[in-house]
Amino acid sequence: MLESTPFEIPVFRPVTDPVSEKTDVVVVGLTESGALTPTLSAIDGLTDKWISRLIELGQLRGKQGELSLLASPLSDGPVMILVVGLGNKPVTRSDAFESSASAIRKLVDRKRDRVVVSLAESFPEEFQEQIVAGAVSACEVQALYQADPPIEVPASIEFSGIGQAVIDRGAVIGQSINQTRRLVNEPPAMVYPASFAERVEELAAGTELQIEVWDENKLEAEGCRSILAVGAGSSKPPRLVIMRYQGGGNEAPLALVGKGVTFDSGGLSLKPSDAMVDMKCDMAGAATVVGVMLAAAKLGLRKNLIGLCGLAENMVSGDSYKLGDVIETRSGKTIEILNTDAEGRVVLADTLDVAVQCEPQAIVDLATLTGACMVALGTEVVGMMTNDQALCDAVRQAAEVQGEPVWQLPMFELYDEKVKSKVADIKNVGEGRWGGAITAAKFLENFVGDVPWLHLDIAGPAFAESPKSHRDAGATGVMVRTLLQWIASKD
């Protein structure tokens, strides 16, 4: 049976002296001002001002993102020194995450047993979790099925100036990002509705998450006809996964809802091959919900959460739902199907209704919903649409803290008319190409009632065609950090 490369998780622990102990590499930060951190100063003192001379000669410049790997002249201590450029601007949490991730990605090209990260000297104490999370996130790539290991994960990653409790929290965040990415990067033959649900149950084992899975019979009994319609053309039946975490007493939960179309052929509105090749990523919203819920449980966040993943495979067969079909959703609203490739919102119609019946204080949904959002905002910005400005502002503030770009799009009432159907309550597409991200959100708004609700269209940033210094191409795990920040900071 085909098996992907297993997770390799190093030992994560603190280290007291990053210079005197024998290590493969020590990672240090340097700004453009050339001011030496304590670790660089210690190395400088042991090497007759070697670091200072390199800075004076312009060989170490501290430019933002520049990585300089040096062979250490020390007979003891680190074999190599990796200097990470931090630029000349005030540092952010995003800088902490990306600098640490870039450093580890630079070092996984060959076997290294022990790497020491001394970046805490260059960042405020409240950024330490992000240093750890970034380092952990660098231990995952999209090449899951190559015969030779694509990376050599260090046996031990140690952190100078960071205590074990902070290391443990940062590791949970990094590993949850990687779990999200792994679910998205797996091929659709491996991750389909039933296997996705099974993986959630496996990942939740040993945590305080309670998992409930609705199979096709339960979905039928519950009236989830829109989820069943999208999955009707596939030999792999749909599922609804419900994850519950009770960390906040008797308060109403926060609901996270994820679109989980495990593969999207477009159905009878068939996609061309080029547009279909990456459609294993169409369940990134559901995978993000899983990552956030796992992290919240492992971190012991004092909030009540419910995560819902609507899972279906949109395929073509004689049983496929058709253009012109009218579907009665779980809520009773009827949908006219005018494009079977606008299936994610149809899956979310029932999933959101289940969320509403859980009586949450707010709902945030995540979906790789529209190419139109990518046209509007590009491939690195998340689109935000809401019926509650305070909720939107809170999540946007969390995104700004974590350095994940978001932008709010309008939800004017004039868009309501564009999703009204002549034969049903609503139709699953708007009027042609115009405002497609907004009309998709307007469709979803029909299923949330008066509950404060935020829709996050992650179609662009959830899956990357090209790598960056701090992450591989493929799944990115976008919004895991933002949502954890929002949940932890919510009153």
Is 218 among the residues known to form the active site? Answer: no
Residue 50 pairs in a beta bridge with none
Catalytic residue among 61, 63, 271, 333: 271
Distance from C-alpha of 320 to C-alpha of 47, rounded to nearest angstrom: 71
Distances (CA, A) of 296 to 191, 299, 302: 23, 5, 9
Q: Which helix (H) or strand (E) holds 459?
A: none
Burial of 316 (0-12, 13-18, 19+ CB in 10 A): middle
Three-point CA angle 21, 26, 31, nearest 5°? 135
Query: Quick one: how far is CA 163 from the chain centroid?
Result: 26
Asked if 342 contacts 439 with a C-beta cutoff of 8 angstroms, the reply is: no
The alpha carbon dihedral of 175, 176, 177, 183 has a sign of positive
CB 209 within 8 A of CB 243: yes
Maximum CA pair distance of the chain? 82
Strands in 315-355 per DSSP E: 326-328, 334-336
Q: How many angstroms from the chain centroid is the CA of residue 189?
A: 21
Within 13 Å, how many C-alpha atoms sit on residue 327's CB side?
29
Q: Could you tell me where the DSSP H helices lie in 186-334?
A: 193-204, 216-221, 225-231, 273-276, 284-299
Query: Would you call 418 a catalytic residue per the annotation?
Result: no
Q: Which of 169, 181, 239, 345 is catalytic?
A: 345
User: Catalytic residues, which ones?
Assistant: 271, 345
